[in-house]
Structure 1
Amino acid sequence: MTQEKIWLSSPHMGGTEQKYVQEAFATNWVAPLGPNVNNFETDIERYLNQDVYVGALSSGTAALHLGLIMLDVKPGDEVICQSMTFSASANPIAYLGATPVFIDSEYDTWNMCPVALEEAIKDRMAKGKKPKAIVPVHLYGMPAKMDEISAVAKQYEIPILEDSAEALGSAYKGQKCGTFGAIAALSFNGNKIITTSGGGAMVTHTKALKDKAVFLSTQARDNAPHYQHSEIGYNYRMSNICAGIGRGQMEVLDAHVALRRANHQFYKELFAEISDVTVLTEPSSDFYSNHWLSAILLTSFEQREALRLAFEVENIETRPLWKPMHLQPVFENSPFYGATVSESLFEKGLCLPSGSNLKAAERLRIEKVIKDFFTL
C-alpha cells in the first residue's frame, strides 16, 4: 500500500481565512477591490515596517512586470538578473522586449554574486548598453548580500527591483526582505510561506509608485465617466476573495516562519555527521532566512539523483534546485557573467520537504530514507 505523499511545500491554512472570505461573499465584494484588499495591503505594510506602500496583485510575476515598466524598461534595453532563480524573475524582462543579462551566484548564499554583478555592468557599459535595472533574488528565503549589491547599484546609478517572492519573513541586518529595492515583488503562490491561492504584491517606498502600480493593474483606466485609456494597462489586481485568504494567512506568518526554520534545524542536525552533504545555512548573524525551502548540496549529480529517486520510491517529493536561467533554452543567447557556481549548485543541489505543516511522522519517514541512503 502506497503511503500518503509528503509534499515539498503545500498550502497551510491558519483557520481564520474562511471568516474573511465569508465576509467578502456576505457583502458581495468579490471584485478586484474591496475591504480585504485594502486591509491585506495594510497588514503587509505593517509587517515590513519600513514606511513602505504595498499594492496587492494577481501574482509575483505581475509585480515584477509592472516594476520593470515603472523603471522605464523598454524594447532593446538590458536588465541584469540573477541566473539561479525561477523563470518568473526573468520572463517579465522578455515580455517588454528587453534582454536579460544573467549573473552567477556566490557560494555563501547561492544568490547574485556582487563581483560578477559589477563586472557585468562595466562590460555592458563599455559596449554602450547601461542596464536599466538589477533583479537580485533571495533564493529559497536566504537573503542576498544586499550591502554589496546595493553599493554596486548605487555606484552605477541603476535601480534595484528586488525579487522577494520566496523571502517574506526573511531579513538582512534586521531589515525585512522586500524593502531594499526601489521596488520589490512578493509572491503568495500556493507553495509559498503564506498563500492567497495565487497572488502577489508590489512593495514601493512612495505612495505615487503604489498608485501607479494599482492604476496599471486595473487596465489603466483614466479618471473619466466613460472608459478611457491613455496608457496600456493590465488585469493584474488581486481579488477581494484572495485577499481575504491573505488576511488570515498574515495572522500565522510568524508561526509559519518559525515552523520552516524548525524544519531547517531538523535537517542540519540530521546531516551533521554526513560529510557528503552541505545544508544551505545563513553565513552569519547578518542573515535571517525564513527557510521557505531547506536545500542541500551533495557531492555529485549522480549522488543527488540517487537520493532524489530514493525519496521518490517512498512517495516523498523533493526537487533539484532551479536550473540557472543562462542554461535554459529560451535564454541561450542572453549574456552571462560569472563562473560555474550556479551550474554546480544545480547539478548537486536538492530541495527537501519544508512545509510548515510537516508532521512528526513525516519527518520520521524522511529521516529513514536519509539514514538508509547513507547507511547510518
Structure 2
Amino acid sequence: MKNIDNNSNTAVFSQRRIGKTALIKHVFFLLKKKQSTIYLDIFPTLSLKEFSNTLATAIYREFPIHKSAGKKFMDFIKLLRPTIKINALSGEPELMLDISQPDQIEKSIPQLFSFLDQQQKKVVIAIDEFQQILSYPEKNVEAFLRTIIKNLHNISFIFLGSDSKLMIEIFNSAKRPFYGSTNFMVLNKIPKEEYISYIMNSFVAAGVDMDVKVPEVILNLTCTHTYYTQRLCHEIFADRFLFITEKDVVNTLYKLIQQNEAIYFQYRNLLTKAQWNTLKAIAAEKTVYQPYSQNFIKKYDLGSTSTLKRNFEALVDKALIYQNLAVEEPYYEVEDKFLMHWLQSD
C-alpha cells in the first residue's frame, strides 16, 4: 500500500499457492473506492498478442461498456476492431482485438496503457505470473514493455511471480531493462505460531473442538504451505468431527492422497527413472540445501553430478519441485505437499 501511495512499482514473488492472488484481491478491495484496479493473469498467454487480449479483457471488466468510461474505452480502441465473446469455461466476457501483424501488436499495447494513464482516478495494475513474458517468441519483450511503462504517470504496477529465479533475473540483473524499476516484496509462509492460533480459533468458532496439538500436526504435515493447509483443514471440517484428534488429521490426509493417486501415477509415467528417483530423494529429505553434495548423491544413489543437475532442472521446469532462492540458504522442496507424503510412503 505504501508503494502505491508513493507511486512506486512493486515486484512480489513467492512459491505457488502461498496466497499472492488473495493478497492482491484484498489490497484491491481496500483501494476500490479511490482507485481503479486491474488484475490480469498472464500465465496462460504465449505471445504479446495474447498479452494484449488479456490486458484488453481486464480493462473491459473494470470499465464495462454500460458505464461512460467503458464506452470511451471501446471508442478509444475501435481501430483495433474489438469483439466480445464469452469464455466457454468461465462464462466471463473476453475482449478480442483484431491484431496479427507485429506493428499492430506494438501499437495496441501502448494504446491500452495510454487509455488507463488518461483516467481521472489513479490506476493500479497487477500482472500475475509476470515471468511468463520470458517465454514469448517475440524479441526484446522486456525492453518493449519497460519502455512503455516508464512513460506512464497515472499507473502503479504490481508484478507478481511464482518463479523466484526468473523474477530475480528480470528485476535484479543490472543487464535487464526492469533493473532498479521496482521495490521487492517476498511473500513468505504465515508464521507458524500465528497459523496455529488461527486454525484453533476458526474451528472453535465453528463449534468444533480439538486436541491442543492438532493445529501443529496439520502444519507439520503441510509444511505450513497455505494451499495445502487450507485444503486439509477444509476436508477435516467436511467430515463433521465434533472433536478432532491427531489420528483424524492423519487419516484425512491419506484420504486426500488416495484421491490424487491416479495423478501421481501419471507423474511417474511421464518422468524418466532417474528423474523419479531424484524426486523421491527430495521428498524423503523434505528440504534439500546441498543437492550436489556427495552425501546426498550417495545416500540415494543418484548417479553423476551432471545427470543430477539435469534432473533437478527438469523437475523445476515441470513444477514438481520448487527452488526457493529468496532465503539466506536456498533450498529445493517438492511443490505438492500431498505428493511429498505419497512419495515418502511409496
**TM-score normalised to the size of structure 2?**
0.28
**TM-score normalised to the size of structure 1?**
0.26
Instruction: Choose between structure 1 and 2: higher helix proportion.
Output: 2
Q: Tell me which of the two structures has the higher relative contact order, counting C-alpha pairs closer than 8 angstroms and 6 or more residues apart.
A: 1
